[in-house]
Amino acid sequence: MLTVTKVRHSWPEKKGFMLSRRNNNGDYIFLHFHQQVRFTLNGKTVDTKPNAVVIINKNTSNVIDCAKCDLTHDFIHIQGNVEGVLSLYGLKTDIIYYPCNCGFITDIVRNIEGENFENEKFNDTLIDNYLNILFALLARNIGKKPEGFVVDYKTETAFKNLRIMVFSHLERDWPISSMAEIVNLSESRFYVIYKAVFKTTPNQDLIVARMDYAKQLLSQNKNIAIFDVAQECGYANEFHFIRIFKKNVGVTPKKYAMMQWANPEKDKPNRK
């Protein structure tokens, strides 16, 4: 299990800050620089691009020099079999990485920081799990080629939260205008980003979710009225719902229900 000895998220340093370490007191150090910084590893100096990530070996001398601008960075001091864990994800120490989308880093470091300060049950286990998630996501995003434009982590998270909201309330009306307003975007921009994040259009995504829910309702209750299913799935017009259902499922809702209940053991939820 990996152990964290020191951790901070979005830690600020003023322009002109410099830190030089001959060794790391037995700690491996995970660093994520939000801005460009001059960074030295074992005597080799580079000017990083923004959002550089490096995991410094416990025996590596290093210098952080932010002579040109203020610096915000996330850092974690880690002890344990760090190199063994990194190898599981194809990562190495003392290499500067540039993940395609790095917004997850600060969020995970914040969680680790919170657990590190709390004396709660299982916090060591949670910290170890968070570190593994951090390394896994870092490995996933290294060398990843952006498709079209890159959707930043904050925006992607907002869209995923919106999708959860929509799917949790399928009985409501969800026009594009309402969904776009929730994430503070124009309808056209919302449409483009939604398709980039979920690989489908918002309307088609909503239809699929509603049809899945309709099938679930029809499979769970033998006597449920088609009108009630339509209402639960956000369709005020029963006949419109029937047309959409048949187009997407291949049969009418009534026929689908008959097929399901003709064989009680087939594709049924446990009703005990």
Per-residue pLDDT of the chain (272 residues; tens, 9 = 90+): 999 999 999 999 999 999 998 888 899 999 999 999 999 998 899 999 999 999 999 999 999 999 888 999 999 999 999 999 999 999 999 999 999 878 889 999 999 999 999 888 999 999 999 999 999 999 998 877 655 567 777 888 899 999 999 999 999 999 999 999 999 999 999 999 999 888 899 999 999 999 999 999 999 888 899 999 999 999 999 999 999 999 999 999 999 999 888 865 554 544 43
239 close to 191: Cβ distance less than 8 angstroms = no
CA 211, CA 230: separation in Å to the nearest integer? 10
Residue 39 tokens, joined: 């960074």
Radius of gyration of the chain (CA): 25
Q: Cα torsion at 105, 108, 114, 120 (round to 10°)? A: -160
Tell me the C-alpha distance between 85 and 92, whole Å. Answer: 10
3-141 CATH fold? Jelly Rolls (2.60.120)
Residue whose structure tokens are 């914040």: 110
**CATH of region 204-262:** 1.10.10.60
Are 154 and 184 in contact, with CB atoms under 8 Å apart? no
Give dist(CA 203, CA 75) in Å, integer.
41
Considering Cα of 257, then 261, then 264, then 269, what sign does the dihedral take?
positive
Q: What pTM does this model have?
A: 0.67
pLDDT, residue 263, reads: 67
pLDDT at 24: 87
Token duo for residue 45: 């100096």
Q: Are strands 71-79 and 28-33 parallel, antiparallel or unpaired?
A: antiparallel
Instruction: Compute, in degrees rounded to 10, the torsion defined by CA atoms 216, 221, 227, 229.
Output: -20
What is the number of other CB atoms lying within 10 angstroms of the CB of residue 159? 22
- CB contact at 8 A, 151 and 196: yes
The answer to whether the beta carbons of residues 202 and 179 sit under 8 Å apart is yes
By C-alpha distance, which of 34, 59, 58, 62 is closest to 46?
A: 62
**Are the CB atoms for 139 and 85 separated by under 8 Å?**
no
Of the candidates 139, 167, 137, the one whose C-alpha atom is nearest the C-alpha of residue 153 is: 137
Q: For position 102, what pLDDT does the model report?
A: 83
Q: Where are the domains of the chain?
A: 3-141, 153-199, 204-262
